Structure 1
Amino acid sequence: MSKIDSLRKHYHQEIIQKIIRFGSHPEKGKYPSFADGSSKNSIAIAWKLIEKINRGGLTFVEDQSITAQTAGGRFEEITRNFLQQSLDLLTHLKVGDWQYYTSFPISRFDQYEHLAALEKLSRENPQIAATLGGDYIIKPDIVVVKRPFLPEDINRSQEIIAENERIAQFSPFIFRPTTPGKLILHASISCKWTLRSDRGQNARTEALNLIRNRKGSVPKIVAVTGEPLPMRIASLALGTGDLDCVYHFALPELQEAIDDLISTGESGLEDQKEMLNTLIEGRRLRDISDLPFDLLI
């Protein structure tokens, strides 16, 4: 078993133990908490998906319900840990010092530090606030951060830059004593354990905020979900211009689950399979194991 495969299995084990609980429907009976209790297809896929990811036979926690907010927070933490551990294996392919945080305000980053002053101005002047709108300083669920390089690190093998020269003074890649603490936002990752109604749309709104309000390079902007229904994943994944891509916590298992259900005569899933294939072939949906490597691009 490869290192990434091992980390992915541990990722699923954490989700099974810390997030997945069970609800009950008067007609449909017991169902996994990440399924929509009012949707027969959602329940069927969720049960089959659990079967696929729990081949190790872990025991589920059934006597302790958790809120949707708690489930979402745990999904963020577990996903962040998976990404950090995976990327720690890839240090020979990374450039610089990378760090990983949850709920980190974008005004802390070089590309968005100007938003702090803009928000302060809006708070102090209602007319400006009404003209410009608000919600400048978002807090992405997970951020991947790059620290700038010290001049001595850049000059390790030969003198590439010198302090007394008036060149390369403004690049955030280089640490400057006059502007200490500047960080570079490399990636913004939105975590949506499930996708109900318009939950996925705020991920698009955040993405557009990051694109339009930057001063500098656009960070990688992606979303991670555990939603079992491909049609609902499509509400977030279809289209281009905002999110780079959407990642599923168990994409191969989702494909297997839907194929198994169709082969046993489960009705109403052909459209779900077709949409799943469309998203994959259209390069809009990938597995969580793809994300660490995509972040290196």
Structure 2
Amino acid sequence: MPAPFAASLCGFRINNGQVTANPNTSDSNDSGSIELGRALFNELGVPTDRVVGKDPGARLEEAIQLHLQPLRPDLAILRSRSALEFEQYAHLRVFPAFVSNHKETAPTLEQLQKIAEQLPNSAATKRLKRRLAKATAEFGEQDRLSTRLKLYMPEESLLKLDLTCASVDEGRESFLHLGLSSKWSLRTDRAQDCVSQGSKLASQRRGPMPHYAVITMEPRPAMLKIIADQSGSVDYVYHLDLPALIRAMERVRSRKPAKWSPGVTFDRLLKQGRIRDYDDLVSAVQAIPARANSTIPQGAIEEAEEATGGGEER
């Protein structure tokens, strides 16, 4: 079953106030992109005079969310969420909280030393001064170590996930079951971002890896290959209407040489099972268990954040 909203997001671009023959999936500098886009739109029955908004990507995310949420009302299906909000990545919040809230002790100790110097001479004052001198040395070393820690620790960043599907239970970290990178169309940099994000999600998690996939309307096999042909960074590429894309590919292929490269690439991706239809995404969401066993004790992350000052109001 293709996405029921796929065709409604399709239209043609405007140039100088006139409707062009360039689909809003296409790269205007790539004739192959335009040809495949037109063939796909023809299969979808998109009128040649239809004009759509400038940001189909945002509308795509909204349409997916609105379609999937009623299928699993027990899960939270949300847009634009940081992976750090979920159990498998909650540990990554601790160091940024430390960096944001750590303060050097030297200024405070210097103020206390000035106050001590103004106190009358006594045994207690002498003890206080000795203790302050010792504290200055001890905390000074901690400050130096903290400075080195902040300098040399890697600042790995995770892009926000366009769509997330998670269990949300009171008193527990939200558990991420599925993360989607939603791309209406692809360019090389966008495709590489998807692969990079999948690699980071895999390497930086603690606990089960969420199902991570890309969903797109991109018709070009060369662009789909950048994501689908990678080792394991992305599970699948879900296409909004794979049957229509298959028909469009066959229509264009009939006008091409026998070993037309995009056709060969597309066939390989299909046989590998790396490109799947939107219906497979629906099945994946419906198959998510009602509850996941938490691997982090309740309150553990909150306690760590409070220990570094992350729980304090700023």
Q: Same fold (TM over 0.5)?
A: yes
Residue in 1 aligned with 2:6?
Answer: 12
8 Å CA contact 2:195–2:230 kept in 1: the answer is: no
Deviation string for 1:65-100 (max 9, x for gaps)? 51xxx3222221122223334x34xx8xxxxx2120
Which protein is bigger by CA-based radius of gyration? 2
Q: What letter matches 2:262 in structure 1? A: Q
Percent of aligned positions with the same letter in both sequences? 24
Query: Structure 2: how far apart are the matches of 1:129 and 1:202?
Result: 26
Q: Say whether 1:82 aligns with 2:76.
A: no
Residue in 2 aligned with 1:112?
Answer: 89
Residue in 2 aligned with 1:132?
Answer: 153
Q: Structure 1 pair 267/39, CA: closer, same or farther in 2 (3 Å)?
A: farther
The runs of at least 4 aligned residues of structure 1 exceeding 3 Å deviation read 57-61, 122-130, 135-138, 266-269
Q: Say whether 1:185 aligns with 2:176.
A: yes
Residue in 2 aligned with 1:102?
Answer: 79
Query: Structure 1: how far apart are the matches of 2:214 and 2:189?
Result: 15
Residue in 2 aligned with 1:145?
Answer: 166
Q: Say whether 1:197 aligns with 2:188.
A: yes
8 Å CA contact 2:228–2:275 kept in 1: the answer is: yes
Query: Structure 2: how far apart are the matches of 1:48 and 1:184?
Result: 41
Q: Say whether 1:282 aligns with 2:272.
A: yes
Secondary structure of 2:22's counterpart equals strand
Secondary structure of 1:14's counterpart equals helix
CA shift, 1:136, in A, is 3.7
CA shift, 1:206, in A, is 1.4
CA shift, 1:258, in A, is 1.5
Residue in 1 aligned with 2:252?
Answer: 261
Structure 1 residue ranges without an equivalent (≥5): 92-96, 149-174
Structure 2 residue ranges without an equivalent (≥5): 103-145, 289-314
8 Å CA contact 2:3–2:241 kept in 1: the answer is: no
Q: Say whether 1:73 aligns with 2:58.
A: yes
Q: Say whether 1:270 aligns with 2:260.
A: yes
8 Å CA contact 1:23–1:33 kept in 2: the answer is: no
Q: Structure 1 pair 129/253, CA: closer, same or farther in 2 (3 Å)?
A: farther
Query: Structure 1: how far apart are the matches of 2:257 and 2:34?
Result: 13
Q: Structure 1 pair 24/275, CA: closer, same or farther in 2 (3 Å)?
A: farther
Query: Structure 1: how far apart are the matches of 2:27 and 2:57?
Result: 16
8 Å CA contact 2:85–2:174 kept in 1: the answer is: yes
Secondary structure of 2:25's counterpart equals coil
8 Å CA contact 1:41–1:269 kept in 2: the answer is: no
Report the structure, 1 or 2, having the larger helix content.
2
Instruction: Give the TM-score, by structure 2 length.
Output: 0.68
Q: What letter matches 2:78 in structure 1? A: Y
8 Å CA contact 1:41–1:268 kept in 2: the answer is: no
8 Å CA contact 1:258–1:269 kept in 2: the answer is: no
Mapping of residues 36-55 of structure 1, within 5 Å: 36-54=27-45
Query: Structure 2: how far apart are the matches of 1:139 and 1:261?
Result: 36
Q: Structure 1 pair 58/23, CA: closer, same or farther in 2 (3 Å)?
A: closer
Query: Structure 1: how far apart are the matches of 2:99 and 2:153?
Result: 8
Between the two proteins, the alignment pairs up a number of residues equal to: 240
Secondary structure of 1:10's counterpart equals coil
2:231 to 240, 250, 260: 240
Residue in 2 aligned with 1:210?
Answer: 201
Structural RMSD (CA): 2.7
